[in-house]
């Protein structure tokens, strides 16, 4: 077993399967704009860099050289406002926890394990997903894509979580599902453990060369030593 000061979890694709509601929102926006809907499986492969990037990719995927005939950056502003409108209704409605997540988080918390959340999802939508699935109480802090000046793969959000807990980088592990998470961990000088599912486009997550590829989420309980002391309360 490994002694770990802090576990930092990604959200979408690691703890919660949110792909269906993100895909529905993207297609809501495209439909209202008179554009071609995209296959949910294709949109799933675009998730991980924030909603704006996902929507940009949906515009680039339009037929008949659509992206060559418009100013994508100018169009993204108003379309993102419509994304926010639709996703406020969709967020948390069809997402589900991945198998073993609830039981594992309960067990880790019972052991006194410090845990944080780090996602590129916008804060208002992060809050909706956490509230819908009753996850907020597990994590301190919960850092979203717009919480700080920089987002993943920057090391800054990781450093914020490490400092918040008074943890050591060499005893901190990021649990995620994608190349973005892998690069974030490397930039911050911490270990990256990958779940065997999630959103990494068409590339298997093992190609990101994680320090460990979990066989299932619950394997964390076999790999991490229980803490002797109570978890840190951190600072708001």
Short-list 130, 139, 1, 25, CA closest to 83: 25
Q: How far apart are CA 64 and CA 86, in angstroms?
A: 26
Short-list 201, 204, 178, 202, CA closest to 192: 178
List 3, 5, 10, 64, catalytic entry: 10
149 is catalytic: no
Q: How far apart are CA 89 and CA 123, in angstroms?
A: 15
Exposure of 13 by Cβ count < 10 A (0-12 exposed, 13-18 middle, 19+ buried)?
Answer: buried
CA R_g for the chain: 18
Catalytic residues: 10
């Amino acid at each position: 077993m490994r002694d770990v000061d802090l576990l930092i979890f990604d959200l979408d694709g690691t703890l919660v399967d949110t792909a269906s509601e993100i895909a529905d929102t993207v297609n809501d926006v495209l439909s209202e704009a008179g554009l071609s809907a995209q296959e949910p499986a294709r949109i799933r492969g675009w998730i991980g860099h924030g909603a704006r990037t996902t929507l940009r990719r949906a515009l680039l995927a339009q037929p008949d050289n659509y992206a060559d005939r418009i100013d994508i950056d100018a169009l993204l502003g108003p379309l993102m406002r419509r994304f926010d409108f639709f996703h406020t209704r969709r967020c948390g409605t069809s997402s589900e926890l991945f198998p073993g997540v609830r039981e594992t988080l309960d067990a880790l918390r019972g052991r006194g394990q410090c845990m944080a959340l780090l996602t590129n999802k916008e804060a208002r939508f992060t809050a909706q997903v956490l509230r819908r699935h009753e996850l907020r109480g597990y994590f301190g802090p919960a850092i979203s894509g717009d919480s700080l000046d920089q987002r993943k793969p920057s090391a800054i959000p990781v450093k914020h979580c490490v400092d918040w807990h008074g943890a050591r980088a060499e005893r901190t592990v990021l649990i995620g599902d994608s190349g973005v998470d892998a690069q974030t961990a490397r930039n911050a000088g911490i270990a990256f453990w990958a779940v065997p599912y999630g959103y990494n486009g068409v590339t298997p997550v093992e190609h990101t060369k994680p320090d460990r590829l979990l066989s299932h989420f619950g394997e964390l309980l076999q790999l991490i030593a229980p803490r002797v002391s109570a978890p840190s309360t951190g600072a708001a």
